[in-house]
Structure formats: structure tokens, C-alpha cells
Structure 1
Amino acid sequence: MIHKHAFEALDRSLKDILGCHLRNNTKLPLGGKAIVFGGDFKRILHVVPNGSRQDIVNATISSSYNWSNFKVLILTKKMRLSLQTSNIEETTTFANWILNIGEGKVGGLNDGEAIIDIPDDILITDSSDPIGSLITFVYPSIVENANNPMSFQERAILASKNEVVQEINNRLLSLFLGDKKEYLSSDSLCHSDFVHDDFDESLYSPDVLNGLRPSCMPIHKLVIKVGVPVMLLKNIDQKHGLCNGTRLRVIALGKRVTEPEIIYGSHIGKHTFIPNMSLTLSDKKIPFTF
């Protein structure tokens, strides 16, 4: 997912550093060091804001001048499937279908675009309430299992847009018992970035800042209940398991701090505290930082 320029910068840095000891290293890829890069082009490509298909392909490492020096190693054994004790055949069939999509074997000959038939067993057929059907499928008996962290360990709903995420979150939150608690952000401009003395701060009032929905920042109003499962979207404390993607269950809600329980990974069962924190956004689409 990293832009090819990052790998090329690493290549030049290693050549400079290792060339001090042996001049011939400046002519070798990555200074003569053997480095393993992990990734899968069939999953997520590098994100180029407002970029075309050509821009995205050109940003990948396979478009770098060093790509001819790489040796591609392909993993062939699905380790997660080997650890499962139930529904192995069903999961294997689904995994192979996903793999065939990534390799372009589904939908006939195509040049990056194709029409794919979704299997009936994973297709939502209720057109009147698709989100409700999706929630029922992914989280069966969610009210009865609300106090069972095990039921949320390996279940999640993926969405492509923030608007859909918010709609799903609101529907799920309404299913849990208890009182809601609202947390509001305190958005303000970073004055250190102002370069003009005649900058009119009134053009960007708090209401305007609160209404922005950048992809890498939380929404202005967060509504939550005790017992709901949540997922971290920032690396807060990697040593203690608070990383991007960590799944937690809310135990208590304070005025400026929340107490969740980690329900997945090596720190499962551990209680932690997440306070309010300051986040700074720098987006090329927005002519200021806040």
C-alpha cells in the first residue's frame, strides 16, 4: 500500500549508507541488502487522492525501477483455514472464490472491469431493508449475546463509504439496551499555519469545522453505549495492544475517558482507558489544518 517513492527513497538511503564501507554497494539494489516486502496486490492498492486508474497503478512498487530486481514469493497454504475446526469446506470454497476474483478468473476476459455473479448464499435479497438483513446475518441474536464478547471477536461489517458506516452504526446502537452517551469534538483552527495577517477566521466557524467529514478523522458527534463493540482507528499504545484495528468492548463511559475491554488478540480480557486526545488534520482538499 506504500507509494513506490518510499521504497525508492529507502533504496537511495541504503546505497549512501552502505557505500561508505564498500563503494560497490552503491551499484547494488538496496545497497546489497536482502529485504523482504510483504503485501498483496489483489487486496488493497495504494490510495492516490483524486487519482485515475493509471495514477494508482503507477504508484505501486511494481512500477518502480527496482521491480526487476525483486523475486516474487507466493504463499500457498492458508494458515487460518488449517486452524479451523468447523465449516472448513464452506470457508475454503469462499476463500478460493475471493482468490479467483483477485486473479481475474471470474467474469470472463476483462481489462480490470467485469460483471461478477455473487453466490446466493452470501447475497442479501431483502431489498426493502438490506442493512437490517446484513446486521441479522453477521450478528445473529445480537441482543442475547450482547454480554458475550466472544460473539464479536471474528465478526465485522465492512463498508466503502463513511455515510454507510454511520448508518450501520446507528442501527446497531439502537439494538443495544441502556442509555446513550454523546461525545462532541472541540474543533478549532491551527493558528500557527496562518501565513496571511488578513486571514478571516470567521470564514471557518466551529459549525463549519464540525460539519467536515474527512476520511481519517472521527465525526463530530460520537454516540455510544456501555456493552457495544468498538474498533480503534489509530495506533495509541502498540505495546499494550491498542493499535489500528484492535477490537474492544465498552465497559464504562466517563466524561473525558472511556474504559473498554480488549476482546481480540494477545491482550484479550485486558481493561484499558482511552482519554480524549488532540488530532490534527492536514488534507490537500482543505486549505487549512485543524
Structure 2
Amino acid sequence: MIHKHAFEAMDRTFKDILKSVSLFGGKVVVFGGDFRKILLVVTNGSRHQIVNASLSSSYIWKYCKVLKLTKNMRLTLGSKDPNIEEIRLFAEWLLKIGERKLGGPNHGEVQIDIPHDILIKDSVDSTSALIEFVYPSILQNYKKKDFFQERVILAPKNEVVQEINDILLARFPGEHKEYLSSDSIDKSESVNEDFDPSLYLPDVLNGLKFSGCPNHQLILKVGVPIMLLRNIDQKNGLCNGTRLIVKSLGNRVIEVEVVLGSEIGKRHAIHRVTLNPTDKKFPFKFSRRRFPLSVCFSMTINKSQGQSLSRVGLFLRYPVFSHGQLYVELSSVTSRRGLKLLILDDERNTYDKTTNVVYKEIFLNL
């Protein structure tokens, strides 16, 4: 997901430092990644622009030697009751999805059939059935230390993620605490004579929703799983995407405990930070001071990339819309038995087909 320009800039820097015309100054550089997964996010970018921004479209790529892994270690090591044949077939199915080998020829999008044994078929209350699969008996189990470690509900869009989080937060025991952001126009706008700050009162700013920036309101309860939205202290594991559990709710700080990674079990105090959205659709600079946290019973597919999860529920009220999203959803689970999909059609009925998006030209140079 890194732009090719970053690698090309590194190449030029190494050549300057080492006074060499060889690629990266003659140093050996190892790249790691999977082009089946989600590519670099280019804001409002076309399919061509996204593919062109990838490393495989750089002049560097022709000098690379591709080494392909042959064993799905996530499935092999993650399954508690390994069935070699089941693992092999599931791994092959995942690769076919990632490489657009299911559903027949297409130009990027194609409808594929999903096996019935991994579908949620409850037509009466399908959302509750999905929640019960991922978080069984949550009111009895939420105090267990490892309950939220490797289970999550994924969805392509924030709208669905927010809905699932609201449902589970309402079911969660205990009193909630509400935190509101402090929103203001950036001071640099004061030098702009054409800008009238009186048009943007606090109530207006509070209602703004920006890509990559949390909303004005945050509601939490003790014991709820949350996600960190900014890098705060990388040395101690407080990075963007780190999953945490709320331990206490203060007025100025929130005490949390890390539930995944090398720093698991460590407690930290999270304070408010100033966030500056970079969304270009608003004609002014804006600051939002807020706790960089969000509830994460559910999260978007993009946020889940790279994680290994033992219990995954995929809520596809809306189909995936970008290259590799379906592959990332399905390949994050450590066993077939820990996976369920809830697919809804236009009339909100359960369905057994979904859209797979793959830009096949990304594989041409591999």
C-alpha cells in the first residue's frame, strides 16, 4: 500500500549517499507484500491511477526478483484442529478469489458463489445471528481476558460498521460515558480575507464528518473493545489500528489495556489529541480535538488488513468496491470454521452471491 514514488525517492537518496549509479546504491533491498490485497488508496483515483501508483508499475520492478511463498502459514498454524485437506482446499479457494479465477471472465468486477456452509441464512434476524456467531454469549464472556483478542465483524463501509458498533454497545452492560470533541477553524484561515468564520459556528463544525477523522461524539463503556486511530507511542505499541479494552473512563484521560501484539496486557492512559483532517472537499482548514479512539466490535476491511483472526463475521450489506477487499476479508481468518458471511441483496434478504473486485493488470509483471 506504499506509493511507488516513496521507493523511487529512497533509490535516489541511496545513490546520492553512496555515490553509486546502481539501484539503491548497490544495496540489497527486500520488499514484502501481496498484490492480491488492497492496493494504495488514491483519493478519488481511477483504476488506472491506483495500479500505476503501485510498486509493480515502477522502473524499480524490472530489477526485482520475485520469490513466492507456497504455504498459507495463517491457516496451517492458526487452526486448533487441523484438517490438512480442508486447509488445502480453503487456501486454494482464497487464491482463486485473490487472482480473479472464480466467476468467469470480467473487467474488474464479477459475481461469485459463496459456499453455503459459511453463510448466515437466518432470514428473520440475520444481523443478530452474525453477532452471536462472532460474539457468542457476549454478556457472559466479555470479562474473559482473551474474548476480544481475535474476533471481529468486518464490513466494506463505515456506515455498516457504525451500525454494528451501536447495536453491541447498547447491549453491553454498565453506564455509558459521552465524550465530545472541541472543533475550531484553523488559525491559518484568519489571514484569508475571503473567509468568513461566522458562517461556521460550533454546531456546524460538530456535525461535519471527514474521511479519516472520527466524528464529534464518542460513547464508551468500561470493558468495551476500542481501536486507536493515531500513532501515539509506537515504541510501546500505541499505533494506528492497535486494539484495546477500556479499563476506566476519566474526564481527561481514558485508561486502556492492549489486547493484541507484543505489548499485550500493558495499560496506558490515552489523552485528547488535535486532529487535522486533510479532506479536500471542504474549503477551509479545520481542527478537531478529541480522543483518538473508536469502538471496534466491528471495523472496516481496510483497517483489518494484516491481522490474523480466529472468528470473523463479514457483513456485506453492500458489496466490496475496491481491488482485494474480499480477499482481505476472507484471508484474515485462521480457519474455515471461524468464518461466516452475511450477504444481503437490494431488498435486504439473505443471498449466496457477492461481488469480487480484482484489477488483473496488477499481476501482469509478476
Give the TM-score taking structure 2 as reference length. Answer: 0.73
**Counterparts in 2 of 1:190-229, with a 5 A limit?**
190-229=186-225
Structure 2 CA distance for aligned equivalents of residues 145 and 91 of structure 1:
29
Deviations 1:159-197 (A, max 9, x none): 221211111110110121111111101111111244422
Distance 1:111 1:165, change over 3 A: same
Structure label with greater radius of gyration: 1
How far apart are 1:224 and its partner, in Å?
A: 0.8
Contact 1:162 1:215 in 2 (8 A): no
Structure 1 CA distance for aligned equivalents of residues 265 and 79 of structure 2:
23
Does residue 179 in structure 1 map to residue 175 in structure 2? yes
The aligned amino acid for 1:282 is T
3-state SS of 1:88 partner: coil
How far apart are 1:30 and its partner, in Å?
A: 2.0
Structure 1 CA distance for aligned equivalents of residues 91 and 215 of structure 2:
34
Contact 1:180 1:223 in 2 (8 A): yes
Does residue 79 in structure 1 map to residue 73 in structure 2? yes
Does residue 169 in structure 1 map to residue 165 in structure 2? yes
3-state SS of 1:150 partner: coil
How far apart are 1:263 and its partner, in Å?
A: 1.7
The aligned amino acid for 1:15 is K
- The CA RMSD over aligned residues, in Å, is 1.8
How far apart are 1:48 and its partner, in Å?
A: 0.9
Structure 2 CA distance for aligned equivalents of residues 219 and 121 of structure 1:
37
- Name 1:53's counterpart in structure 2: 47
How far apart are 1:116 and its partner, in Å?
A: 0.8
The aligned amino acid for 1:35 is V
Distance 1:121 1:206, change over 3 A: farther
Structure 1 CA distance for aligned equivalents of residues 82 and 189 of structure 2:
55
Contact 1:187 1:209 in 2 (8 A): yes
**Counterparts in 2 of 1:1-290, with a 5 A limit?**
1-19=1-19, 25-26=20-21, 28-84=22-78, 86-89=80-83, 93-290=89-286
Structure 2 CA distance for aligned equivalents of residues 178 and 134 of structure 1:
23
Distance 1:16 1:106, change over 3 A: same
How far apart are 1:51 and its partner, in Å?
A: 1.2
How far apart are 1:42 and its partner, in Å?
A: 0.7
3-state SS of 1:250 partner: strand
Deviations 1:89-137 (A, max 9, x none): 3555444322220122221233322211112122222345433222111
Out of 103-112 and 138-147, give the one that drifted further. 103-112
Structure 2 CA distance for aligned equivalents of residues 37 and 53 of structure 1:
23
The aligned amino acid for 1:5 is H
User: Which structure has the higher relative contact order (CA within 8 Å, separation 6+)?
Assistant: 2
Structure 2 CA distance for aligned equivalents of residues 44 and 210 of structure 1:
32
Distance 1:121 1:87, change over 3 A: farther
Out of 187-196 and 67-76, give the one that drifted further. 187-196
Structure 1 CA distance for aligned equivalents of residues 144 and 208 of structure 2:
36
Where structure 1 has 5 or more consecutive residues not aligned to the other structure, the ranges are 20-24
Where structure 2 has 5 or more consecutive residues not aligned to the other structure, the ranges are 287-366
Deviations 1:222-271 (A, max 9, x none): 11111111122222111112122222111110111111111222222212
3-state SS of 2:49 partner: helix
Structure 1 CA distance for aligned equivalents of residues 201 and 28 of structure 2:
52
Structure 2 CA distance for aligned equivalents of residues 206 and 72 of structure 1:
53
User: Which protein is richer in strand relative to its size?
Assistant: 2
Percentage identity across aligned positions? 61
Distance 1:84 1:282, change over 3 A: closer
The aligned amino acid for 2:129 is S
